[in-house]
A = this chain, B = another copy of it.
Amino acid sequence: MAEYPASRLAERACRVEPFHVMRLLGRARELEASGRSIVHLEVGEPDFPTPEPILAAGRAALDAGLTHYTPAAGLPALRQAIAAHYGQRHGVDVDPARVLVTPGASGALQLVFSVRLEPGDRVILGDPSYPCYRQILGLMGAELVAVPLGPETGYRLTPERLDAAWVPGTRAVVVASPANPTGAVTGLDELRALHAICRARGAALIVDEIYRGLTYDVPDTTALALALAVEDLYVIDSFSKYFGMTGWRVGWVVGPEEAVAVMDRLAQNLFIAANTPAQQAALAAFAPETTAVLEQRRAIFQQRRDRLLPALRALGFGLSGAPDGAFYLYARLPEWLEMDSMDFATRLLEDAGVALTPGQDFGTHECDRHVRLAYTRDFEVLDEGVRRIGEFLADCGSTKKKPQV
C-alpha cells in the first residue's frame, strides 16, 4: 500500500492535526507494556465510574429491549428531563422543544457550527481552547480568529477583548465556561455583555458548558440564565464530565427554536440519533441519588485541585490563581527551564514516566510554555506525579539539560 498516493486524499481532511497528546498516550502505553510505571495526568476523563443509578437505568433499558432508534432530536422524555433540570438546578425556564439530544457534545458542535456558518465565515474563539473547535471549524471552511488569553483576564474572553478582536464577517463567537484547558469560568454578567456584542453585530454566541457542574468557590451557572438568552444563543452541554458518562456519548444543545428545527434535520442525516440505551440511562442522571454521588465527586475534584496546585507552584510552575472549574491546571513551565512544552512533555514521559498534555494541543499563544495537567486521579497518583516531576526538574536544573535536536 506504500504506493497509494496520499495526494488523492482531501486537503481539508489531511489538514486536521493529530492531537499531540494522542502520540504521547500511545508512547505511554508502549512504555507500560514494557513494564514501566506511568502516572497519567493527561487524561480529560474522570477516573470515577458512571454512577450506579445511571448504570442501573442502562441495564433496565437493555432488559426492556429498548434498543431501537429514537427520534433524531432525542427521546422526548430526555429532552423534557434536561429542560426540567435547568429549572431545578438553575431556576431557568427552558422549553423542551429547544433541547436537542446529540451524540456527545461533539455532535452538538457539528450541528451548531453547521446551522450558523457558511464557508468563509469568521469565528472568534480563545487561544488556548479545546482543539476540536478549530478542527471542526476548519473542516467546514470557517476562518478562525484566535484571541490570545492569559492570566491578565483570568484566561477569559472579556467583552473588551472580544470587541477589540472583532473583524468583518464574524458570524459566531465560541466561549467555553468552565474552559478547557484553563478551568476559567465566565460569569453571567460577562456572558451578558458578550451576548450583547454578538447580538448587535449579527453573530451567534456559542457557549460550551460541558464542564458545567464542575465549579469550585464560584456559583454554578448557565448562559441560559441570561435574560435575553433566546436569540443567537446556543448552549452546548453533555453528560460526559459532571455526570460521569464519557463513553456513553450523549450531549445536547439548547438553541433558538427555528435553529433546532434545522439542526433536527441535520441530525437525521448526520447521526440518525444518539445511542438509545445511553439516552435511557441518562434519564437517571438527574435523580437525587445520582446528584448526591456527583456532588460528592465535585468536592473530591476540588480537594485534588487544592492539593495539586500548591505542589506545582512549589516546583516553580506559573499558576496565576486557582481555576474555578473543570478538572485541569494550565501551568506555565518554570521560567528557568530551557525547553519548550512539547520537549518537556516528551522527556518527562520518557525519563520520569509522567504523561501530561503539551500546550501545543490548545493553540499557539504561549502554548510552548504551558502544559495541561488533569486532576482526574486520586491523591496518591497526583502526589507521585508531583514527586516525579520534581525529580525531573531537579535533574534538569543540575545538568542544565538542553532540548534535544
Chain A: residues with CB nearer than 8 A to chain B? 1, 4, 6, 8-14, 16-19, 22, 45, 49-50, 55, 58-59, 62-63, 65-70, 103-104, 106-107, 110, 114-119, 131-132, 135-136, 139, 141, 202, 204, 230-232, 244-249, 256-259, 262-263, 265-266, 268-278
Contact = CB atoms under 8 A, between A and B. Distances in A.
Nearest to A121: B10
Given A49-B65, A262-B16, A117 B275 contact: no
A67 to B, nearest CB: 4
Contacts of A141: 119, 141
A107 B106 CA distance: 12
Contacts of A62: 55, 58-59, 62
B275 A19 contact: no
Contact of A114 (B10, B257, B272): B10
Contacts of A110: 270
Contact of A246 (B1, B19, B67): B67
Contacts of A45: 68-69
20 contacts: A1-B231, A1-B257, A12-B118, A13-B116, A13-B263, A45-B69, A55-B67, A59-B59, A67-B244, A67-B246, A68-B246, A69-B247, A103-B271, A107-B271, A110-B270, A114-B139, A119-B119, A139-B269, A247-B273, A249-B275
Contacts of A268: 18-19, 22, 132
